[in-house]
Amino acid sequence: MTMLHSTSHLASLLRRAAISAAIASSALLVACDGGSTGTVTVSAPTPAPAVAPTAPTAPTPAAGSAGSAIQPPVVSAAALAAAQTTTPAAAASTPASPAADEAIDAPPPIRLDPEVMDFGIIPPSVTREGIVKLINTSQKELEILTVQPSCKCTTLGDDISGQKIPPGGFIELKAAMKAQSSPGTKKAEIKILVDGYSQVLNVNLRNEVSLPVRITPAYLNVVKGQPLTGRTVIESIDKQPFTVCAVGGKPPHLVGFDPATDAPRNQYLLEWDFERDFEPGKAPRYWIIETDRADCPLIDIFVRHESTMPLPKLKLTDYRHSFGRIEQGVNPEFVVDITEIGAEERIVTAASDSSAAKIELVGTTLEGDTTHVTLRMIPNADTVGITYIPFKLYSSTRQQEIYFWGQIVPKGHTGCLSK
């Protein structure tokens, strides 16, 4: 009787460990900026044999998908001995119940309120916090085993692992989501494993990153095989009228609007033509729209083209770096974050590839696995207008090309610069 109970108890421990490992593995499959994903099913491991196993063997690796069967992990001899030393009294008080150790192949009976953690429209690089209630809709107590965000953009508040939800009751999950620097929609997930259920519960998070003037869509897709003409909506979030001064340094092609006779609007339809608006066969990584709004003088549209795709040498957390609008004589500083730098590797210097400005290294700081690199741009005294500064960041073993862009205006200038 003792052997049967201890073996059943060991099988339960193995099942929990394997499913928890599967959550961590499946989290790696969800891109931080990816779209919605389906329910992740984690198959329970094969139950332990009814007799004490011989020397343990290495587990078969997971197939790599969230629905793959997870094999039991290697168990040490000490763990086996501990599981097999259950006293007869304990075995008698809690008789073995193999059926109780089998996970139900279904999501846990939990309702989310709200169903989606929607942070709405938020500025670039801003972090917003939210709370979701996990409501137990069943007639039995539920225990939270593991909680795992799908990407580094999401952080959790209090750890709810081990908390129990009474029938009809609820607990709260606090989470924060950091917006990306570039405009567009961002989605993420938090995966929750509940004891007794092999499918994880997905808490979906989303936001829309936008400046006070929003662009829809937030990019031009002009890679080979895609249309080379299209239309883009430019609108103010607060519905206040504004003027589109220029697009790419040229007069904008606005459908149904004549700037000579029509009053400013809060929404415009921009017509673009890749062959007309860009140099033959190439494009800047960001197409800049200039407005007369003091809180949003520049809006960037990412141009997806063969000539604009970044070539990662160093692993940057972000490839969009802008100094916005500055006056002549200002030397802005900015930070580039790099992960996965080798123990012996150091950031050594930076060098501009543009005659319009210099880039110099100010210093570096290490925070966890992220190296924060502070840089300074020093524009030439006569540099004015939309400016792209390509430069290279050098480590002791590698180098990375980065673009820094924005607009430089004369001191005291307000409103449109390009007309």
Q: Per residue, what are the HEC states of the chain? A: CHHHHHHHHHHHHHHHHHHHHHHHHHHCCCCCCCCCCCCCECECCCCCCCCCCCCCCCCCCCCCCCCCECCCCCCCHHHHHHHCCCCHHHHHHCCCCHHHHCCECCCCCEEEECCEEEEEEECCCCEEEEEEEEEECCCCCEEEEEEEECCCCEEECCCCCCCEECCCCEEEEEEEEECCCCCEEEEEEEEEEECCECECEEEEEEEEECCCEEEECCEEECCCCCCCEEEEEEEECCCCCECEEEECCECCCECCCCCCCCCCECEEEEEEEHHHHCCCCCCCCEEEEEECCCCCCEEEEEEECCCCCCCCCCEECCCCCEEEEEECCCCCEEEEEEECCCCCCCEEEEEECCCCEEEEEEEEEEECCEEEEEEEEEECCCCCEEEEEEEEEEECCCEEEEEEEEEEECCCCCCCCCC
* Range name among 118-132, 136-150, 274-288, 366-380 with the lowest pLDDT average: 274-288
Distance CA 286, CA 295 (A): 19
Q: 354: domain range?
A: 312-419
**Domain match, 228 and 275 both:** yes
| Position 277 confidence tier, pLDDT thresholds 50, 70, 90 | very high
pLDDT at 190 over 80: yes
Confidence (pLDDT) at 89: 39
**CA atoms 174, 115, 128, 194: torsion sign:** positive
pTM over cut 0.85: no
Tell me, what CATH number does 395's domain have?
A: 2.60.40.10
In the chain, % of residues over pLDDT 90:
62
Q: Write out pLDDT tens, residues 248-268.
A: 989 999 999 999 999 999 999
Q: Find tokens 């007369």 and name the residue.
A: 292
Distance CA 281, CA 307 (A): 8
**Domain match, 305 and 321 both:** no
**Domain match, 169 and 217 both:** no
**Domain match, 216 and 201 both:** no
Q: What is the mean pLDDT of residues 32-54?
A: 39
In the chain, % of residues over pLDDT 70:
75
**Domain match, 153 and 36 both:** yes
Confidence (pLDDT) at 182: 80
Q: Write out pLDDT tens, residues 294-308.
A: 999 999 999 999 888
Tell me, what CATH number does 281's domain have?
A: 2.60.40
Domain boundary among 181, 209, 237: 209
- Residue 11 sits at φ, ψ, to 5 deg, of -60, -40
Total domains in the fold of the chain: 3
AA letter at 6:
S
**Domain match, 56 and 162 both:** yes
| Averaged pLDDT score across all residues of the chain | 81
| Position 397 confidence tier, pLDDT thresholds 50, 70, 90 | very high
**Domain match, 32 and 67 both:** yes
**Domain match, 337 and 347 both:** yes
Confidence (pLDDT) at 101: 60
Domain boundary among 290, 309, 328: 309
| Position 24 confidence tier, pLDDT thresholds 50, 70, 90 | low
pLDDT at 229 over 90: yes
**Domain match, 297 and 414 both:** no
Distance CA 88, CA 69 (A): 34
pLDDT at 105 over 80: yes
Domain boundary among 176, 209, 242: 209
Q: What is the mean pLDDT of residues 15-37?
A: 47
**Domain match, 264 and 379 both:** no
**Domain match, 278 and 195 both:** no
Q: Write out pLDDT tens, residues 44-87.
A: 334 444 444 444 444 444 333 333 333 444 444 444 344 444 43
- Residue 325 sits at φ, ψ, to 5 deg, of -110, 125
Higher pLDDT among residues 237 and 280, named by residue? 237
